[in-house]
Amino acid sequence: MVLALPPPKRALKENLSLCDTVVIAEFSEINLVSNSNGTCNVDLQVIRNTTKVMRSFRPDFVLVRQHAFSMAQNEDFKNMIIGLQYAGVPSVNSLESIYSLSDKPWAVSDSNHTDIGICGSFINQ
């Protein structure tokens, strides 16, 4: 998952160039809190000099490059996709499609119904 951070407050105060910071993290490294007012807070667990440090921020947008569900134990991160969608965080790729494709039988059955609808319309003409 790629998260874009707002520029540091120091850069805003000094009118420096405003370049966003990009953070690349796996689902297992982040804790996401989605609020009802449309905000989202992310806590990122970083290891610096063999000590764990928590870094908190609000993402500007996300790019998901990891499957939200895996058959391995404790590898179900669909709740984070739901949290990002609930908070209205913009995403480069569709959060709805990521959530839908996390369950393969659902995706296959949906594509089967789509194929039947398309073929049926050609046959009936």
* Per-residue CA distances from 28 to 14, 59, 93, 96 (Å): 35, 17, 20, 20
Q: Give the residue extent of every domain in the chain.
A: 2-123
% of the chain exceeding 70 in pLDDT: 70
User: What CATH architecture applies to the domain 2-123?
Assistant: 3-Layer(aba) Sandwich (3.40)
Q: What residues form DSSP beta bridges with 26? A: none
Neighbours of 101 (CB within 10 A): 15
pLDDT digits (tens, 9 = 90+) for 28-74: 888 999 988 888 999 998 888 888 888 888 888 888 888 777 766 67
pLDDT digits (tens, 9 = 90+) for 63-119: 888 877 776 667 788 899 999 999 999 998 898 888 888 777 777 777 776 655 555
Cα dihedral sign, 21-70-86-88? positive
Which whole number is the average pLDDT over 3-16? 50
Cα dihedral sign, 43-30-89-77? negative
